[in-house]
Chain A
Amino acid sequence: MTRRRFWSLRPASTGEATDAILANLLLHWFPARMRLTSIAWTPSFWLGTVTWVLFVLLLLSGLPLMVFYVPSTREAYQSIKDIEHVVSFGWWIRAAHRIAAHLMVIVVSLHLVRVFLTGAYKNAGQREQHREWNWVIGVAMLVGTLLLSFTGYLLPWDQLAFWAVTVSMNIVSSTLLVGPAIRDALIGGREIGQTALMRFYLLHIVVVPIAMAVLFAYHMWRVRKDGGLARGDAPQDAAEVVVAIPAVARRVTVVALLTWLVVTVLALVIPSPLEEAANALVTPNPAKAPWYFLWLQEIVADTTVRIGSVAVNGAFIGGVVLPMALLVLLTLWPWLDRSPAATVGATLPRERRTQVLVFIAIAAIVIVLTGVGLLRGPSWQFYWPWQPWANVPTRF
């Protein structure tokens, strides 16, 4: 038998397919054999792979942006303007970067919802598994995704960026005792200025992406160690197993191309906003958080509690205590969920009905509050989409 110089998408035999994997660094990414259930389109919808593709697209589109972007309060806004209007295809690269970032927040959230609903953080089957730890890694990567998106939000140094970060830094510093110190470490002072921009820039391009890449590698390794997609105690049927190359490679390629296509098209039709240059002297009206934090913005605006003459700022309750409690609960859920392992992979099993319904209720509240936040107009008033905004002065 003559050995092929390159691996084939149509190997003549299982042996040839396996040889290809052994001979190729990239193909080692996949296990040699995978269960058909692991690579089925449902119930995973390949959301994890889509997230990974979006992350790669963000790295690729971020590189040319880094060539032109200047992380200085004097030049940042102008350099974004140049990217938008002067650099060849700069507008499209920036739009693709922005769209991919927004999609990543959406897809990674859907991924979490899917894993929760199918109970995929539970260990089932004979082999030793630690899916609960992969859930924890996943929650950390959700936070990392939000952090990446949010640190990128400041970089254009326009009004949108400046005031969103002002509000969030006030939330950070409302934390009891350590708040001001954390804020100082994050932005290098009390005010959002050059030090804040530099720190956010470094978090955005170095610290968080590297952390995400490490977590991601561990996440994938854990999935392999735990035997692929979580499922109940299915019979180990040999007929269900396929050789990873080409079966999985083909599907990954399809998912990557589709994701790329969606980002490309959306970047063509959805322009990236750039407001007036940041101005510490004028708060725009309305001033809103990025859409994925709008639900939190609704909560911080409603949770100032007065006990007698003492008022506790909603920033602390709604901005720190509540999200932290949700995050801790989410992280610890695999240990709190006592339902039998046999419920893994089942949709709405009776044993998990209550927790699934509570989870859906919380998700619904988040979505509704996000919707309310989107519809807020000047002076924090609620407007239906068909209602014209009141004509209030936007400046003093």
Chain B
Amino acid sequence: MDGDSQTRRSFLSRLAAAAGLAGLAAQGGILVRSCVPNVTYDSPSTVKIGLPESFADGLTFLPAQRLFIVRDSKVFRAVSAVCTHLGCTVHADVQQLTDGPDPGARPHLQVQQFSCPCHGSRYRADGTNISGPAPRPLARYRLALAPDDGQLVVNLTDEVGASFVLTLS
């Protein structure tokens, strides 16, 4: 019986040690898991950015959303200002144009290219990456009109293809 009790005793102590270790591991896991947030307080991803009429033809930069709105008469596009390499805000190299000979026309900004200050990536005016480490074109986001007040609404989580535009009737 001595051998048996030895076996039982060593089995039980091993079991106890394993249970203790499992408990420690579980609680360690709990501590780590608690650091991964369930709720974040990041800025909202769907935002109203203003009435379509408030945007001049050409380019408008919205710093809070890090977003460019490109307007061509009734056609609107939303192009991200976040570099696809490491997330710095790209600069738009622009040229100021006035429409035709009419001196009263509102001046508007025409993009030559976008360039990133962090690692020198460059994008064409349509957002296609042309040089530097950027792996992808600048993101395009879905634009819509708010049904309640007619403002433009951009959804910063809904990436759309290069062909997507919002055309107003």
Contacts and interface: CB of A to CB of B under 8 A. Distances in A.
Contacts of B105: none
B85 A313 contact: yes
Contacts of B134: 304
B150 interface: no
Interface in B13-31: none
B161 interface: no
A301 B63 contact: no
A349 to B, nearest CB: 41
B87 to A, nearest CB: 4
Given A283-B118, A379-B120, A380-B119, A304 B133 contact: yes
A285 B66 contact: no
Contacts of B61: 396
B152 to A, nearest CB: 19
Interface string B128-140: 0000111110000
Contacts of A163: 88, 118
B87 A314 contact: no
B117 A378 contact: yes
A78 interface: no
Nearest to A166: B87
B117 A283 contact: yes
A393 B116 CA distance: 12
Given A167-B118, A188-B35, A315-B85, 19 more contacts: A163-B88, A169-B87, A170-B86, A181-B36, A184-B36, A188-B37, A188-B40, A282-B63, A282-B89, A283-B88, A283-B118, A285-B117, A287-B88, A297-B119, A300-B119, A300-B133, A311-B136, A313-B133, A314-B119
B37 A189 contact: yes
B117 A286 contact: yes
A213 B75 CA distance: 61
Counting chain A CB atoms within 10 Å of each CB, the highest count among B86, B89, B120 belongs to B86
Closest 10 CB pairs of A and B: A380-B120, A285-B117, A189-B40, A311-B135, A301-B119, A281-B63, A304-B133, A283-B89, A170-B87, A170-B86
Counting chain B CB atoms within 10 Å of each CB, the highest count among A194, A300, A301, A393 belongs to A301
Interface residues of A, number: 42
Given A287-B118, A297-B119, A379-B115, A166 B40 contact: no
Counting chain A CB atoms within 10 Å of each CB, the highest count among B64, B91, B118, B136 belongs to B118
A18 B116 CA distance: 65
B92 interface: yes
Counting chain B CB atoms within 10 Å of each CB, the highest count among A199, A311, A380 belongs to A380
A171 B133 CA distance: 13
Contacts of A314: 85, 119, 133, 135
Given A287-B118, A301-B132, A396-B61, A189 B42 contact: yes
B41 A304 contact: no
Contacts of B115: 379
A167 B117 contact: no
A185 B35 contact: yes
Interface string B60-95: 010110100000000000000000111111011000
A184 B32 CA distance: 11
B43 interface: yes
Contacts of A303: 133
A191 B117 contact: no
A14 interface: no
A315 B118 CA distance: 12
Contacts of B64: 281
Contacts of B86: 166-167, 170-171, 300, 315
24 contacts: A166-B86, A167-B86, A167-B118, A181-B36, A184-B37, A188-B35, A189-B37, A190-B42, A195-B41, A283-B118, A287-B88, A301-B132, A301-B133, A304-B134, A306-B135, A314-B133, A315-B86, A379-B115, A379-B117, A380-B116, A380-B118, A393-B91, A396-B61, A396-B91
Nearest to A380: B120
A289 B11 CA distance: 55
A125 interface: no
A351 interface: no
Nearest to A183: B36
A297 B86 CA distance: 10
A301 B121 CA distance: 9
